[in-house]
Amino acid sequence: MSAADLTRPAPPSPGPSRPASRQFSTAWRFALRNQTRNRLAGLLLAVFVPVWYLLMLAIAGHQPLAFRLYATGQVLTVDAGHLTLISAGLNSLTIIVGFAVFAAIRKTLAFDKRLVFAGYRQATLIAAKTLAITILAAAVACYTAVVLLAFWRPSPAGWLAILGSFAVIALSYGSLGLLLGVLVKNDLEGFFLIIMGGLMDTFLQNPLGNPLANKPILEWFPSFGPMQFAVGGSFGHQALWGHLALGLAWAAAFAAGGLIIFQLRTRSRRHPAS
């Protein structure tokens, strides 16, 4: 083939709807691929999740603990080990999903900017990233909830409540990863904020050796809603949908912040033709 082959005029482009849908399908598949091509996050998933469950269960023991359900004012007496398994699952998800999304967003920010410059619609890229994060969060949450069954068999409804809370915390921290990915100046800041934030957030909700637990201040943490939903479902046989929605509100707030900054950072300053 020679340079002459480059000179042939391109066939006319089909209508605007097809390229737009092709942009979306290409973007979400590649965004998902990027987020799942993180070996460290994969290793964390395969090794960290079961080891963390095992370790936390061994530390917690099985003494009874008082856990306050804010929706009803009820104080439940729960098994410390089982409660800590929920905390450990929530905590694993904050680290793994937060880290995977943060790393993927950081790596591709300049590339996304180039795509927008080349004509990719920002709204399409944003929607694609949101979908990819949602799929990743749901899949990792499912895995984490399934591994939990090796250590504890709650009732089916209880397990579904735990799965729901895991999915919501994964979404929240995936969104936080997105926000930090477009916001912080260097990688270390982001990793530190995700790891420390996730640890504090999830373990402060657990009354095991924590004097702050059951205090109203915990309502202002992202994992408050998911933890209440999981405990309400698995120990109290109640579906506290409002608390699950509270977790989703955190996810939406982080995602909105992240996507607005993403939009600003990838916008093109292209000059119009004269």
Partner 1 sequence: MTTVLEARDVHKAYGRHRVLQGAALAVQPGQLVGVVGENGAGKSTLLKILAGTLAADQGEVRLAGALGYCPQDPVITESLTVGQHLRYFAAAHRLPSLRRADALTELLGYTEFRDVTAGALSGGTRQKLNLTLALLHDPDVLLLDEPYQGFDWETYLRFWDVVSDLRSRGKAVVIITHLVFEQDRFDVLADLAGGRLARRQPAEGESHVRS
* Interface contacts to partner 1, rule CB under 8 A: 1-8, 10-14, 16, 19, 22-23, 26-27, 30, 33-34, 37, 107-108, 110-111, 113-115, 117-120, 268-274
CB of 12 to partner 1, least distance (A): 8
CB of 49 to partner 1, least distance (A): 23
Nearer to partner 1, 63 or 185 (CB): 185
Say if CB 128 and CB 31 are below 8 A apart: yes
CB of 172 to partner 1, least distance (A): 25
Alpha-carbon distance of 169 to 15, in angstroms, equals 40
Nearer to partner 1, 5 or 77 (CB): 5
Alpha-carbon distance of 134 to 207, in angstroms, equals 30
> For 117, how many CA atoms within 13 A lie in the half-sphere containing its CB?
11
CB of 6 to partner 1, least distance (A): 5
Alpha-carbon distance of 27 to 133, in angstroms, equals 12
CA nearest neighbour of 98 among 42, 175, 18: 175
Nearer to partner 1, 11 or 216 (CB): 11
Nearer to partner 1, 15 or 73 (CB): 15
CB of 97 to partner 1, least distance (A): 18
CA nearest neighbour of 166 among 236, 92, 114, 104: 92
Alpha-carbon distance of 69 to 254, in angstroms, equals 25
Nearer to partner 1, 45 or 204 (CB): 45
CB of 234 to partner 1, least distance (A): 37
CB of 42 to partner 1, least distance (A): 13
In angstroms, the first-to-last Cα distance of the chain is 36
Alpha-carbon distance of 100 to 136, in angstroms, equals 9
Nearer to partner 1, 5 or 217 (CB): 5
CB of 256 to partner 1, least distance (A): 25
| DSSP secondary structure code for residue 71 in this structure | T
Q: Which long-range contacts link 230-233 to residues 24+ away (Cβ below 8 Å)?
A: 230/86, 230/90, 230/161, 230/162, 230/164, 230/165, 230/166, 231/67, 231/69, 231/76, 231/78, 231/83, 231/86, 232/69, 232/71, 232/72, 232/161, 233/157, 233/158, 233/160, 233/161, 233/162, 233/164, 233/165
Nearer to partner 1, 105 or 218 (CB): 105
For the record, the structure tokens of 161 come out as 């409540």
Nearer to partner 1, 1 or 217 (CB): 1
